[in-house]
Amino acid sequence: MRAYWELAKSSFRRHSTYRTAAVAGAFTNSVFGLIRASLLLSAITTAGGAIGGYSAMEAATYVWLGQALLAPLGLFGNTELASRVKSGDIAVDLSRSVNLTASYWAQDLGRAAFDVLPRGLPPLIVGALVTGLAMPGSPGPYLLGFVSIVAAVSLNFLGFFAINLLSFWVLEIRGFWMLYMVVMNLLSGFLVPVTWFPGWLLDFARATPFPSMLQTPVDILAGRTDGGESLAMVGVQFLWLAVLLVIVQMMVRFGSRRLVVQGG
C-alpha cells in the first residue's frame, strides 16, 4: 500500500511543477464556462424560465460545477500508457513490483488532488461573480459530494485506462479514443444535463457508467438530490467501479500476455 501512497504523492508533486499549465487550464475552463453558461441561460430564457427542472440559476450552477470538476475528474484523460506501449517503455512499468492498474490509478488520484484547487476554484469564483451559484447550505451534500468525486475520478481513470489498454492489441488507439470521447462527453452530462435527454437516450445513458463520471457528483454537490437519493447514486458509482475494475484487470491480464514490447 505504501508504494501506491508514495506514487500518489509523487504525482501530486509532479503536477505541482507545472504551475503555468494549471493557470492556463483554469483560465480556459473559466472562459468556456462563460460561453456554456450564456448559451444555457439564453436557451432557458427562450424556453420561458426553466428546462427539465433547471431554473436559470440552477443551470448556471450545473455549468460552473462541471467546469470546476472537469480537470480534477480527469474528463479529458491522458494517453500515457498507450504512448509507453508505443515507445516500449511499458517494459519498465511491467518490471516494477507493483500492480500496473493500481500504480497508474494512484498516480491519477494524486493528479486529481493537485487539480482540485488551482483548476477547480477559479471557475467557481468566476461563476459566483458572474451568474451566482445555487449551492446547498448544509454539510451533507459536500461530504457525500467528496466521496462521489473520488469515485468519479476513479471511474474516469478506469474508462480511459481501458481505452489505453487497447494498445496491447492494436498499434493505434486514436479511433477508439475519439469514439470514447464523443460518447462520454454526451452521456456523462457534460454538454447538457442527462435529464434533458429524450426518454430513450436517458434510459440508455443510465445503463452506462458515464453519468456516474460527472452528472452524479455535480448533482450531489448542487444539492439537487436528497440524502437517500444521493446515497443510492454513490452506490451506483461504486457498482460501476467494481465492473470497470474487473474489465480492466482482465484486459491487463490477457493483454500483457500478448503484448510485444517494442524496441531493443
Partner 1 sequence: MPIIEVENLSREFQVMESAGRFRRRRKAVHAVRGIDFTVEPGEAVGYIGANGAGKSTTIKMLTGVLVPSSGRVTVCGFNPVPQRKALARKIGVVFGQRSQLWWDLPLQDSYPILGAMHRMSEADWRPRFRELADQMDLGEFLSTPVRQLSLGQRMRGEVAAALLHRPELVILDEPTIGLDMISKEKLRQFLDAERRENGTTLLLTTHDMSDIQRLCQRVLVVDDGVIAYDGPLTGLVEVAGAVRTMVVDLATPVHSAALFSLPDGAVHQSIEADGIRHSVSFDPRRLSAATVLAAISSAAEVADLSLHEPDIEHLVRQLYGSARR
User: Which residues pair with residue 55 across a beta bridge?
Assistant: 50
Identified binder of partner 1 from the candidate list 23, 50, 98, 191, rule CB under 8 A: 98
Name the one range near partner 1 by CB under 8 A: 29-37, 139-147, 213-221, 250-258.
Answer: 250-258
Among 45, 53, 88, 191, interactor with partner 1 by CB under 8 A: 88
Stretch that binds partner 1, among 12-20, 45-53, 110-118, 234-242 (CB under 8 A): 12-20
Q: Pick the closest to residue 149 from 108, 193, 100 (CA basis).
A: 108
Give the Cα separation of 147 and 142 in Å (integer): 9
- Chain CA centroid to CA 165, Å: 18
Number of residues that bind partner 1 (CB under 8 A): 28
Q: Which of the ranges 90-98, 133-141, 181-189, 233-241 carries the binding residues for partner 1, by CB under 8 A? A: 90-98
Instruction: Choose which of 52, 78, 89, 118 interacts with partner 1 (CB under 8 A).
Output: 89
**Stretch touching partner 1 by CB under 8 A, among 46-54, 66-74, 197-205, 252-260:** 252-260
Residue 80 makes contact with partner 1 by CB under 8 A: no
Q: Of 129 and 258, which CB lies nearer to partner 1 in the complex structure?
A: 258
Does 147 contact partner 1 by CB under 8 A?
no
Q: How far is the CB of 108 from partner 1 (least distance, A)?
A: 15
Of 45, 96, 191, 203, which one interacts with partner 1 (CB under 8 A)?
96
| Residue 198 contacts partner 1 per CB under 8 A | no
Based on CB atoms, which residue is closest to partner 1, 198 or 263? 263
Rounded distance between C-alpha atoms, residue 152 and residue 140, angstroms: 18
CB of 115 to partner 1, least distance (A): 16
> Quick one: which of 103, 117, 113 has its CA closest to 23?
117
Where along the sequence are the contacts to partner 1 (CB under 8 A)? 2-3, 5-7, 10, 13-14, 17, 88-92, 94-99, 256-261, 263-264
